[in-house]
Amino acid sequence: MNIFVLLKRTFDTEEKIAINNGRIEDDGAEYIINPYDEYAVEEAINIRDEHGGEVTVVTIGDEDAEKQLRTALAMGADQAVLINTEDDLEEGDQFTTVKILEAFFDDREADIILAGNVAIDEASGQVGPRLAERLNMSCVTTITSITIDGDTANIERDVEGDVEKVETSLPLLVTCQQGLNEPRYPSLPGIMKAKKKPLEELEIDDLDLEEDDVEPKTKTIEIFLPPEKQAGKVLEGEMDDQVKELVSLLKTEAKVL
């Protein structure tokens, strides 16, 4: 089976956010594999182990994303592709990303593509379903379980807490939700092996794309931090008095009762 994972390199979940010159300050920030994409990598490896085939992890980004790709290889993916846009493109949005991925998948004959449900930084959740539409693949979002039998996939998906059971057929794109699995940590031998696994680097030129083809449809005009929250009031004193004070504050100061 020809299995692909879409992986985004994101800021570490715990990273503090600061703005410098109108941009998110990334100096010294720690980066991780987008957590929902870790579920995708784990599931891809499990599908391969059960059905055979290869797992290819794909990311669009710059050279620094090699680290996250190597981590996915160390977890057990077979090969990685870095589509490096650093020298060619300044701006991009979800339309851009999907245009590039569409071109990439043109001749790849994917049986299944696993993406994250959402990236924890920009968090649009668009890339998976957008790509499925371009590739004319059936698409199931926010999955928490998948079993494949021949060309048929039986899937459970999370719909605002309800569980929807669906059946569909390959080729297929799914987006992964928390609950799907517990991603493994790369093992030491895994890390050693990952260093020798193939990592292909492509530029948009290699995908027969030009800058104009991928021009974004949206633009960010400002980034700002939420208004600094005044330090909350932690109440003190006898518990009975604290509760009385709280109710009174909610009523007269916060005006929510």
**Residue choice 125, 135, 143, 186 for contact with ligand FAD (CB under 6 A):** 125
Q: Is 23 helix (H, G, I), strand (E, B) or coil?
A: strand
- Rule CB under 8 A: is residue 41 a binding residue for another protein? no
CB of 105 within 8 A of CB of 113?
yes
Q: State the amino acid at position 62 in one-letter form.
A: D
Residue 97, both tokens: 């990303």
Nearest distance, CB of residue 55 and ligand FAD, angstroms: 14
Q: Is 216 exposed, middle or buried (0-12, 13-18, 19+ CB in 10 A)?
A: middle
CB of 182 within 8 A of CB of 199?
no
Q: Is the dihedral of CA 133, 134, 140, 142 positive or negative?
A: negative
Among another protein, ligand FAD, none, partner that 97 touches (CB below 5 to 8 angstroms by kind):
ligand FAD
- Rule CB under 6 A: is residue 122 a binding residue for ligand FAD? yes
Among another protein, ligand FAD, none, partner that 209 touches (CB below 5 to 8 angstroms by kind):
none
Residue 207, both tokens: 């995908």
Residue (149 or 212) nearer to ligand FAD, CB:
212
Residue found by looking up tokens 């693949």 in the block? 137
- Rule CB under 6 A: is residue 141 a binding residue for ligand FAD? no
**Residue choice 28, 52, 189, 226 for contact with another protein (CB under 8 A):** 226
Report how far Cα 119 is from the mean position of its chain's Cα atoms: 4
Within 167-206, the residues that bind ligand FAD by CB under 6 A are 178
Residue 217, both tokens: 């449809």
Nearest distance, CB of residue 223 and another protein, angstroms: 5
Among another protein, ligand FAD, none, partner that 237 touches (CB below 5 to 8 angstroms by kind):
none
Residue 51, both tokens: 């059905």
Distance CA(199)–CA(70), nearest Å, equals 8
Residue found by looking up tokens 């059971």 in the block? 165
Among ligand FAD, another protein, none, partner that 147 touches (CB below 5 to 8 angstroms by kind):
none
Enumerate the H helices of 21-65 as residue ranges: 35-51
> Per-residue string for binding with another protein, 105-144, x by CB under 8 A?
------------xx-xxxxxxxxxxxxxxx---xxxxx--
Stretch that binds another protein, among 14-22, 49-57, 59-67, 181-189 (CB under 8 A): 14-22
Among another protein, ligand FAD, none, partner that 59 touches (CB below 5 to 8 angstroms by kind):
ligand FAD
CB of 34 within 8 A of CB of 68?
no
**Residue choice 53, 92, 179, 190 for contact with ligand FAD (CB under 6 A):** 92
Instruction: Note the residues at the interface with ligand FAD (CB under 6 A).
Output: 6-8, 34-37, 58-61, 85, 89, 91-94, 96-97, 115-116, 118-119, 121-128, 178
